[in-house]
Structure 1
């Protein structure tokens, strides 16, 4: 049995135990402690923290998430970190309400209800859980690749109010181990194992600031979940949804989004095309369009979901406009360029 150590988290005065053979983030989940996290693959930096005392080593990670200078200074990614002594770790990002109040991580069996292409490279996958599965708008789950121990992570597009069927929007990549199954490897009725929920980029109930959502590609999914929840709960918060695509052919669910918008008090949907001009759509990268149209970003709560370059550009924009960190929630969707496949 691997040696076990104590982890003290600051400034929240929270302790837990961890085995040398488990990652610190996984150990936290096991004990009902929901630390800030994103991709859980060492790619996004959401779980970046600072080691005040103790010996910690990391598995392979992206230097874009934590560069060599930061590592030398004592920064670590908790999703890739193993403790080899008792440690004191300073959490750089945390939500006190979530730390001990997050939903439990569970594994359930699901059955495929539908597989429908919505663009040339994005597919809607609908699953029926065989037992209850709780989550919050904006969260994601791991789906196990049949016949293996590997999994891929995808965000829920539906809401907890409709637990009988959960929708995922999945981008297909050439050679993707999971996404490749969507063409001919999965069929209605097949079983898939699902574990979760994960993710800290969740809609915060009780907040009143206007909401600005920025998404691209399959990042549509968690934003749809958030919009659907706002509609279901009768929210009166102003909402702007900016969605970035390359061409008009890459846009989807336009009617569904406009129907949702009709149920909200103050809503605007702004599709943005980066490679071609078409119709009444905005032209340019989505972060550039947001900058043109949103002069008071610092007075908004921002939700960002999509590929890392898009999220990084949006984060830089928000930082330039002095948007407080506690008003920004994001989820980077990694791809085969940063992982072994999707």
Structure 2
């Protein structure tokens, strides 16, 4: 371990202790301070902040996330930054409601409880917590899963809620040759040991009585299902519409879960959209964002939750702005690609 220093975040007036050997973002996670973040690898700029005072040095990062001129001006990436003195840092992107509601990161030993094919390329992976016996998290968050036999991790959103904190349920898109997802095609078996750590992420439900519009695609089903299950468990009665997009009917799954939610949540509706197949009963036709555009008018009184592949999320962010949703009420989780592999998180 290295020397320890204090890091003060403005304008939220929060101070944490940071070891020189850990990044500032990891130190915040360890102490339950939920700073804004994305890839955690210096690729996305979600944790970009401004150094007001002190000696901060960074590991390698992408200039797409932090341009050279920004670095010269004093901007830093907290996921790559190490403190070598006491620091004062101005946060640029932060959610004051969430920053103090974080859960300290845990390392949990688990074992595989179930592997279930949901579609031709989507798999449900259930892990049972062994040590410790529970994983504390908030609905909508994600965990990192260690690739067996390596020190590499992959990030996946949890589809369950804290009511079943003795397990972690993941909905994972399988990619040919994927360093972790490829193991779901015979490389993992029930009873195998896996390490996970978490929770991470700020894709969690904000308290409000506003309507909810949720848009997902692919494995983006996972955190949205967690949020919807949380609504059901807590008896939260908000008008909620979940739009889910796939290419063809074989990309749709958990339709029975959506029916069950509709029976319990009186103001919930589910809309499936198919971009490459027509004439499927109960499904709209077109890209999911085109369907939302067609069916929704003014959304200025709603909160939006978006999760899935980056192109879908980017298009949905633009659509929500056009429909009147304020930027501060658009919450999203992009399944970005890792810096070292061909498989999204």
TM-score (ref. length: structure 2)? 0.90
Matched, 1:331 2:333: yes
Distance 2:181 2:170 in 1: 12
Equivalent residues of 1:247, 1:273 under 8 A apart: yes
In structure 1, runs of 5+ residues without a counterpart are: none
Preserved CA contact (<8 Å) 2:159 2:169: yes
2:53 matched to which residue of 1?
53
| Alpha-carbon distance in structure 1 between the residues aligned to 2:77 and 2:321 | 22
Is residue 213–residue 304 contact of structure 1 (8 Å, CA) maintained in 2?
yes
SS of the residue 1:214 aligns to:
strand
Shift, 1:57, TM fit: 4.1
1:59–1:282 CA distance, 2 compared to 1 (3 A) = farther
Deviation digits for residues 154-207 of structure 1 (CA, Å, limit 9, x no counterpart): 111111112343310011112211111111211011111121111111112x32
Taking a change above 3 Å as real, the CA distance of residues 277 and 41 of structure 1, as seen in their structure-2 partners, is farther
Q: Distance in 1 between matches of 2:182 and 2:271?
A: 31
Return closer, same or farther for 1:43/1:208 CA change in 2, 3 Å cut-off.
Answer: farther
CA–CA distance in 2 between the matches of 1:45 and 1:320?
Answer: 24
What is the CA–CA distance in structure 2 between the aligned matches of 1:292 and 1:73, rounded to whole Å?
A: 44
SS at match of 2:195: strand
SS of residue in 2 equivalent to 1:35: coil
What is aligned with 1:265? 266
Deviation at 1:103? Answer: 1.5
The answer to whether the 8 Å contact 1:4/1:20 transfers is yes
Question: Does the residue aligned with 2:175 lie in a helix, a strand or coil?
Answer: coil
Match of 1:31 in 2: 31
* Consecutive unaligned residues in structure 2, runs of 5 or more: none
* Cα separation, partners in 2 of 1:261 and 1:64, compared to 1, 3 Å: farther
* Deviates further, 291-300 or 207-216: 291-300
Partner residue of 1:181?
183
- Cα shift at 1:143: 1.1
Over 3 Å counting, the alpha-carbon distance change for 1:247 and 1:210 in structure 2 is same
Alignment RMSD: 2.2
Structure 1 residues 307 and 59, CA gap change in structure 2 (3 angstroms): farther
Q: How does 1:137-148 map to 2 (within 5 A)?
A: 137-148=139-150
Q: 1:186 aligns to what SS in structure 2?
A: coil
Q: Secondary structure at the match of 2:243?
A: strand
In structure 1, what is the Cα distance between the partners aligned to 2:105 and 2:165?
A: 16
Q: Distance in 2 between matches of 1:73 and 1:316?
A: 29
Report the CA distance shift for 1:156/1:301 in structure 2 as closer, same or farther (over 3 A): same
Please report how far the alpha carbon of residue 65 of structure 1 lies from its aligned counterpart in structure 2 after TM superposition: 4.1
1:87 and 1:115 map into 2 onto residues whose CA distance is 46
What is the TM-score of this pair, normalised by structure 1?
A: 0.91
The equivalent of 1:199 in structure 2 is 201
